[in-house]
């Protein structure tokens, strides 16, 4: 199986020149004025320069090449302003910051949590798309009386670094200007320039994989821990798993003045079974607190001896080992074939698929980022829809008030990093068909550059029927197959796997989906013990109830060019007409719209009883009916936290209190719980604080924050592996097009192959004689 998947991946995955990037400028940081100063100087150059576009930048000079059926467009420059940092740029940024350290001791103590692209202003992106990078779209920039003014070059790229000092336990944020010539690739010195640096007090940055490994080693070497495991019948420490969970914030003991972890302990049963589910045997009753700065145990206590759950034969989920070594034998080979290649075109990180176009980014915190989403709409040309789409947080609170489960409320993006935990698609059949893959590059804790090969997957999928109608009078029928473009990545955070997907459809829809799978985080029970806060799934083993909340951040730009802020948000609720002259048959209902005028008004919750949804509209563009053009956010099934408002984890996750938040775009407002949620003692940092400004939303640059989740009451069928659960939402055109974009999809875009005569009739009916006997 493994060898087959490797061969399939090698045949269908074409590696892209991907790298890593990020946008977050710290609010109220000295880094902002300094970076803005460089941008202002460039803007002055833009105003004063009246240079013509050189012939190399003309659209007609762009050539095309074809690799494995994918069309590539020639690039005018090497790095688009939104391209994630390349490995060379990451290395330059790190060496620049290291060189700026005041003493050798400071330089040696630097640990690099994050190195990402500081994303430029939207005007810079528009200029790059208009004149510097194919397919060249001058219409993206507003025209002046004297014609377009084009600078000779784009502003330099900036890197943003989060640096943890292991000796001082301090956290700092650096902005580094990068040069075009990366001497690091030729073995030379760094070519970066420190624009600004700032120490951020009273915070703890995300944990790193290196720290997790060191924490496990320290705990497993601790003599009292070894004795405690022997009491439970465990002599072999290689079987023990130590997951270094962040402590969260429950009292001043958890304050960020110390870098702390409170590990969860599990134990495998066999050392020669690498795919055994080690989470099947939780070790309860052991209390451990680890100082992650100095890698020492601060607290250790063997509080209660809970027997390890017995070895369950279902714990081994490797092929041919489940259910007594019998796998299904009735699954035939399924092939996804595109003999003419895919319908999308790729130029670096720029993607064109049918009438859609966008750019693919990636950050160690968010993972996949979709930039500059637009739709080419006939004579109306390229119509922007969103500037930036990403999943910015994932919070998983557990509902068991007992130790250690009440502390299990992980911030999987802010405490760990979704992108840093992403998978290489070389290791499984995550995607099928003709696949385009993109790599991801990021720093490790000590400043080295690492690459996740084939991290982002892009491919086309058949999605059933797009539309169909049959005229019963004539017998004629028209039907079109639906096809969607899927862009996704997957990551593992401890026991859970998450898949993050953006789907683009032929009828103008955009769907966001999170798939949850992996294995459950479990608890052990005393003989005869029962807990109402979970489901017993095996002898001595139970799964606590919990919730998963994901937050999508959508920087919208519906029909807005660079520099335009012409969007607003309306809420739509379906109302039942009261009895009276206008409703004499008592059947009347209608949709009522309410403009969300300010940020405090725009804290909203889903309401399936009124079919509630929200529309982002352009205030100055109309369709052929004279209505404002827009895109609507349609919720799927959703929930809110079941914990009481006083729950301690809600201090850091106040954004979970509502399903929808809307803010006026501001640089630095990137993460709903603030940039550093780890051990954060402050109440309501992030969204809950920003909206107190109550900025106007009547006509502005709109950012939607949609919080969507699922309540997981575990089943026996979730053991030993958890089948995929789906949560998400839809962005649908609402008056954006004058008619359905699906109307012109050709009928011959799929191949129908009926082989019913070749299928063996293995389910023949019983003969009449046998029926008579029965």
CA end-to-end span of the chain, whole Å?
A: 45
539 strand-pairing partners: none
Q: Which of 121, 254, 412, 670 is catalytic?
A: 412
**Residue whose entry in the numeric block shows the structure tokens 């943003």:** 160
Residue 206 has φ and ψ, to the nearest 5°, of: -60, 155
243 is a catalytic site residue: no
C-alpha distances in angstroms, 83 versus 114, 337, 344, 371, 491? 16, 31, 19, 10, 22
DSSP letter for 94, please.
Answer: H
The C-alpha atoms of residue 151 and residue 293 are separated, in whole angstroms, by 48
The C-alpha atoms of residue 576 and residue 757 are separated, in whole angstroms, by 53
C-alpha distances in angstroms, 103 versus 99, 109, 172, 322, 445? 9, 10, 16, 57, 20
Strands 613-622 and 435-443: unpaired
C-alpha distances in angstroms, 371 versus 88, 119, 583? 23, 11, 47
**Residues 655, 672 contacting (CB under 8 angstroms):** yes
Structure tokens belonging to residue 498: 């998450």
744 is a catalytic site residue: no
Q: Which of 164, 279, 496, 542 is catalytic?
A: 496
**Residues 535, 716 contacting (CB under 8 angstroms):** yes
- The torsion angle over the Cα atoms of residues 701, 702, 703 and 705, rounded to 10 degrees, is 170
C-alpha distances in angstroms, 738 versus 377, 380, 556, 591, 655? 10, 11, 20, 20, 36
Which SS3 state, helix, strand or coil, does residue 380 take? Answer: helix
The C-alpha atoms of residue 170 and residue 164 are separated, in whole angstroms, by 6
Strands 722-733 and 496-505: unpaired
Comparing C-alpha atoms, which of 430, 429, 411 is closest to residue 366? 411
Half-sphere exposure (Cβ direction) of 474: Cα atoms closer than 13 Å: 6
Spell out the residues 6+ positions from residue 207 whose beta carbon is closer than 8 angstroms to its own: 244, 246, 261, 292, 415, 416, 678
The C-alpha atoms of residue 169 and residue 255 are separated, in whole angstroms, by 13
Q: Which residues of 92-118 are buried (b: 16+ CB within 10 A; e: fewer)?
A: bbbbbbbebeeeeeeeebbbbbbbbbb
Residues known to be catalytic:
412, 496
């Amino acid at each position: 199986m493994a060898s087959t998947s490797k061969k399939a991946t090698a045949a269908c995955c074409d590696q892209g020149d991907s790298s890593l990037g990020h946008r977050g400028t710290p609010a109220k940081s000295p880094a902002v004025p300094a970076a803005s100063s460089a941008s202002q100087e460039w803007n002055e150059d833009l105003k004063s320069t009246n240079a013509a576009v050189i012939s190399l930048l003309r659209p007609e000079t762009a050539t095309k090449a074809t690799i494995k059926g994918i069309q590539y467009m020639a690039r005018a420059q090497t790095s688009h302003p939104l391209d994630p940092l390349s490995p060379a740029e990451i290395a330059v940024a790190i060496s620049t910051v290291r060189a700026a350290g005041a003493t050798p001791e400071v330089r040696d103590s630097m640990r690099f949590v994050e190195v990402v692209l500081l994303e430029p202003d939207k005007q810079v992106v528009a200029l790059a798309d208009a004149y510097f990078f194919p397919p060249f779209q001058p219409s993206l920039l507003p025209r002046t009386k004297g014609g377009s003014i084009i600078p000779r070059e784009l502003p330099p790229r900036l890197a943003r670094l989060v640096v943890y000092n292991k000796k001082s336990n301090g956290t700092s944020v650096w902005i580094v200007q990068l040069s075009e010539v990366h001497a690091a690739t030729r073995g030379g010195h760094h070519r970066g320039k420190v624009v600004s640096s700032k120490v951020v007090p009273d915070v703890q940055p995300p944990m790193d994989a290196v720290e997790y490994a060191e924490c496990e080693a320290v705990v497993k070497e601790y003599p009292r821990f070894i004795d405690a495991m022997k009491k439970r019948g465990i002599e072999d420490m290689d079987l023990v798993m130590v997951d270094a969970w962040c402590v969260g914030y429950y009292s001043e003991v958890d304050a960020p003045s110390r870098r702390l972890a409170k590990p969860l302990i599990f134990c495998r049963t066999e050392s020669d079974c690498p795919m055994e589910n080690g989470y099947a045997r939780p070790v309860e009753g052991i209390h451990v607190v680890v100082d992650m700065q100095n890698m020492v145990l601060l607290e250790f206590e063997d509080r209660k001896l809970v027997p390890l759950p017995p070895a369950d034969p279902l714990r081994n989920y490797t092929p041919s080992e489940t259910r007594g070594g019998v796998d299904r034998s009735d699954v035939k080979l399924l092939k996804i074939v595109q003999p003419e290649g895919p319908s999308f075109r790729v130029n670096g990180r720029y993607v064109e698929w049918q009438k859609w176009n966008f750019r693919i980014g990636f950050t160690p915190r968010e993972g996949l980022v979709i930039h500059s989403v637009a739709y080419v709409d006939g004579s109306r040309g390229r119509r922007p829809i969103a500037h930036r789409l990403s999943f910015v947080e994932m919070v998983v609170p557990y509902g068991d008030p007992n130790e250690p489960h009440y502390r299990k409320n992980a911030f999987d993006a802010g405490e760990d990093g979704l992108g840093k935990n992403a998978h290489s698609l070389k290791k499984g059949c995550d995607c099928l068909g003709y696949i385009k893959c993109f790599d991801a590059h990021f720093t490790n804790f000590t400043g080295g550059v690492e690459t996740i090969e084939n991290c982002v997957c892009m491919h086309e999928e058949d999605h059933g029927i797009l539309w169909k109608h049959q005229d019963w009078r004539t017998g004629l029928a028209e039907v079109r197959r639906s096809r969607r473009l899927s862009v996704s990545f997957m990551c593992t955070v401890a026991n859970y796997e998450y898949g993050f997907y953006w789907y683009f459809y032929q009828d103008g829809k955009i769907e966001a989906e999170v798939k949850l799978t992996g294995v459950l985080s479990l608890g052990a029970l005393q003989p005869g013990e029962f807990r109402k806060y979970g489901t017993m799934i095996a002898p001595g083993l139970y799964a606590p109830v919990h919730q998963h909340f994901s937050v999508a951040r959508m920087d919208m730009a519906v029909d807005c060019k660079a520099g335009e802020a012409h969007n607003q948000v309306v809420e739509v609720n379906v109302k039942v007409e009261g009895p009276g002259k206008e409703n004499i048959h008592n059947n009347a209902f209608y949709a009522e719209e309410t403009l969300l005028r300010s940020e405090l008004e725009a804290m909203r919750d889903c309401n399936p009883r009124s079919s509630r949804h929200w529309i982002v509209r352009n205030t100055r563009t109309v369709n052929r009916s004279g209505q404002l053009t827009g895109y609507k956010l349609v919720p799927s099934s959703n929930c809110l936290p079941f914990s009481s408002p006083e729950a301690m984890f809600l201090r850091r996750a106040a954004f979970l209190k509502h399903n929808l938040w809307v803010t006026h775009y501001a640089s630095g407002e990137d993460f709903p719980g603030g940039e550093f949620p780890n051990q954060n003692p402050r109440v309501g940092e992030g969204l809950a604080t920003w909206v107190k400004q109550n900025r106007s939303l009547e006509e502005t640059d709109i950012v939607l924050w949609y919080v969507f989740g699922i309540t997981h009451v575990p089943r026996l069928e979730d053991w030993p592996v958890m089948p995929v659960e789906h949560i998400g939402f839809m962005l649908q055109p609402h008056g954006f097009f004058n008619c359905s974009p699906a109307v012109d999809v050709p009928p011959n875009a799929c191949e129908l192959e009926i082989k019913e005569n070749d299928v063996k009739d293995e389910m023949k009916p019983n003969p009449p004689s046998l029926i008579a006997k029965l």
